Chains A and B, each alone.
Chain A
Amino acid sequence: MKRFLRHPFLWMFLFFLIMPYLMPLIKGYTALASEILIYAMFALGFNLLLSYTGLASFGHAAFFGIGAYAMALTQLKWSENLWLGLLMGMVSAGVFSGIVGALICRKRGIYLSLLTLAFSQMFFLVAFRWDEVTGGETGLTGLTRPPLALPGLPAVSLKGPMAFYFFTLAVFMIVMILIWRLVHSPFGSVLQSIKQNEMRAKYVGYNTAFYKWMSFTISGVVSGLAGAMFLLQHGAVFPTYMNWTESGNVVMVTIMGGGLINFFGPILGGGIFVILQNAIGAFTEHWLLILGMIFIAIIMLIPEGILGLLKRTKASA
């Protein structure tokens, strides 16, 4: 019982339960709270790759975007079922990240970053130009938020921001617990050994390329799910979701929160990013300048991220 009470998940869950009610304090609104969780989910999935496997992908926005487009197209061409849409978002992102992962899983370092960037740009251009399917530059808009239907229970509408927030929270908690279990499993240990010394992991007998491929694909699936949730949130998808700057943002957000040091870093980083974007965007249209300068300051002053800094000050105190 005591262990349960001390578990960070419990406290985080309690905090997230009241988060939408705290939003007015920072001039936010309920939808902003959902957006925080969705972005945190994206960053958490990305961090599996960055901090646990040591692969700096610079193209993860592509899988986020693919998830969103898959959800939109499922609604438009097939069915408005919520679960089917989310499933298609994950499967499509998984298929494409699986293909890209297979092509790059023997690479590392700068080549991996360059290649993931090139592939994501390919997906971006297809979304941007293939008007018939993706709507081209104007994207796909006017999509609905289907009701939540569970077998044996009456369907619940997700149209209201609070209802959607709590649905997002449920999805987020499930994803977080699964990723937590994954990184603390033997599979997770192999990933971390690859990060520390791939050659050694290989000589011990692990098929490191396979493990890298697995972690790439899994993080792609999580990104796709986040993208599909983002579509539900906004009811629209645009090619700019897949832009390389978005891929850079998720890397930055993960580092900013302290993802390299702490499992929960990406969640903190995602929250700060979404709130900052909203807060700075409210008083100047040049918010990218300020965001860029914050990024520069973080990298130069606290490259280990906010949670890493807390650990450093705690250790020295």
Chain B
Amino acid sequence: MPSAIDFLSQGINGIVLGLLLSTIAIGFTLMLGVVGVINFAHGVLFALGAYFALTMRNTLGFWAALVISPLMVGLVGIIIERLAVRRMYGKDALFCLLLTFGIAMSVEELIRMIWGKLGHSMAAPLLFSGSIDLGFMLYSKYRLLLAVICGLILFLVWIFLEKTSYGAIVKAGAQDSEMVAVLGNNINRLRTFVFGFGSALAGIAGVIAGPLWTVRPGMGNDAIMPAFVIVVLGGIGSFWGTLIGGLAVGLSVSLAVMFFPRMSDLVMYILAAAVLLFWPRGIMGEKSLLEE
């Protein structure tokens, strides 16, 4: 039987992981809600964030990478939206999904060509490497930093969605983008913005996940699957649903490690299936046009 300290440390790990996964999923769920796209490329955008940062790490340093890399990923997202995704609006959602599937496939291979097949380890910033004594146990300083950064980003996203007028339009777009257009907003600009914004969020998550997970070509898959599950759990386009879903996935996976170490990541899929049987649209989901 695991001890109380094990529970506590795995619990903290779970919250840290949950905050990271929520950061990955928030961009994904906004894109899904506002643009109506299951963006399979979200995982490779996450990976690009990590790789851009890896390249800048030794010259510009971690903190500069944390700012510049997400901007570059956001730009990549805007280019993808402008050149490709835009042409799919008004068609069956399936086409857009397949388009991003093709993009994900190509970009992952491009990453392999540019940075190689093997994984790279990325050093945490010097000030935050090693561990800190919490009094009852030692804990990795970088994980605490990660939790703080993710918490801050999520807070800023919340401020943006709840306290600014453009955020209100984005939020409305996640529920009924047609109505938002009818009310006189430039829906195309809104979609481009959300696509770029969501990509940048994936990029930030990639940078901070870099030192924790190894930076490798397939790392996007580790990010996109939890994002799918979190959206199913929390409901499409919902901020609080995403946060709750992210923490639920992070905690359940981390705690399950103590009992079924090999099958721990299976838990999140079981969780998603169970929740959907009782809440067909996820915990916080509302009726959406995407069901039709």
Show the binding face of A for B, using Cβ within 8 Å: 56, 58, 103, 106-111, 113-115, 117-119, 121-122, 125-126, 129-130, 244-245, 248, 251-252, 255, 286, 288-289, 291-296, 299-300, 303
Contact = CB atoms under 8 A, between A and B. Distances in A.
A191 B291 CA distance: 18
Contacts of A248: 40, 98, 101, 105
Given A125-B266, A299-B95, A110 B109 contact: no
Contacts of A106: 280
A289 B110 contact: yes
Contacts of A126: 263, 266
Contact of A109 (B95, B104, B292): B292
A115 B269 CA distance: 9
Contacts of B94: 56, 113, 251, 255
Given A110-B32, A291-B105, A296-B103, A252 B269 contact: no
A111 B105 contact: no
A110 B225 contact: no
A251 B106 CA distance: 17
A110 B96 CA distance: 11
Contacts of B272: 115, 118
Given A56-B97, A300-B87, 7 more contacts: A118-B269, A118-B272, A119-B273, A251-B101, A255-B98, A289-B105, A299-B99
Nearest to A299: B99
A292 B105 contact: yes
Nearest to B277: A103
Contacts of A121: 225, 269
B16 interface: no
A157 B268 CA distance: 46
Contacts of A244: 221, 225
Most A C-beta atoms less than 10 A away, residue of B98, B113, B263, B265: B98
A119 B268 CA distance: 11
A interface majority secondary structure: helix
B interface majority secondary structure: helix
A270 to B, nearest CB: 16
A292 B232 contact: no
Interface string B254-292: 000000001101100110110011001100000000111
A122 B95 CA distance: 25
Given A129-B263, A289-B110, A296-B106, A111 B291 contact: yes
A99 B140 CA distance: 43
B69 to A, nearest CB: 22
Contacts of A251: 94, 98, 101
Nearest to B270: A122
Contacts of A103: 273, 276-277
A296 B99 contact: yes
B79 to A, nearest CB: 13
Given A107-B280, A109-B291, A118-B273, A289 B106 contact: yes
Contacts of B112: 286
10 contacts: A103-B276, A106-B280, A113-B94, A115-B273, A118-B269, A119-B273, A251-B94, A255-B94, A292-B102, A299-B102
A265 to B, nearest CB: 14
Contact of A122 (B38, B91, B113, B266): B266
The bracket for how many chain B residues form the interface is 35 or more
B91 A110 contact: no
A29 B80 CA distance: 39
Most B C-beta atoms less than 10 A away, residue of A58, A110, A288: A110
B174 interface: no
B105 A245 contact: yes
A115 B109 contact: no
Nearest to B290: A110
A291 B236 CA distance: 31
A156 to B, nearest CB: 40
Contact of A288 (B32, B97, B99, B109): B109
B243 interface: no
A122 B269 contact: yes
Given A113-B97, A118-B228, A119-B269, A303 B91 contact: yes
Nearest to A109: B291
Interface string B139-172: 0000000000000000000000000000000000
B60 interface: no
B229 interface: yes
B93 interface: yes
A295 B87 contact: no
Contacts of A291: 105
A114 B106 contact: no
A194 B131 CA distance: 58
B152 to A, nearest CB: 29
Nearest to B102: A295
A4 B290 CA distance: 45
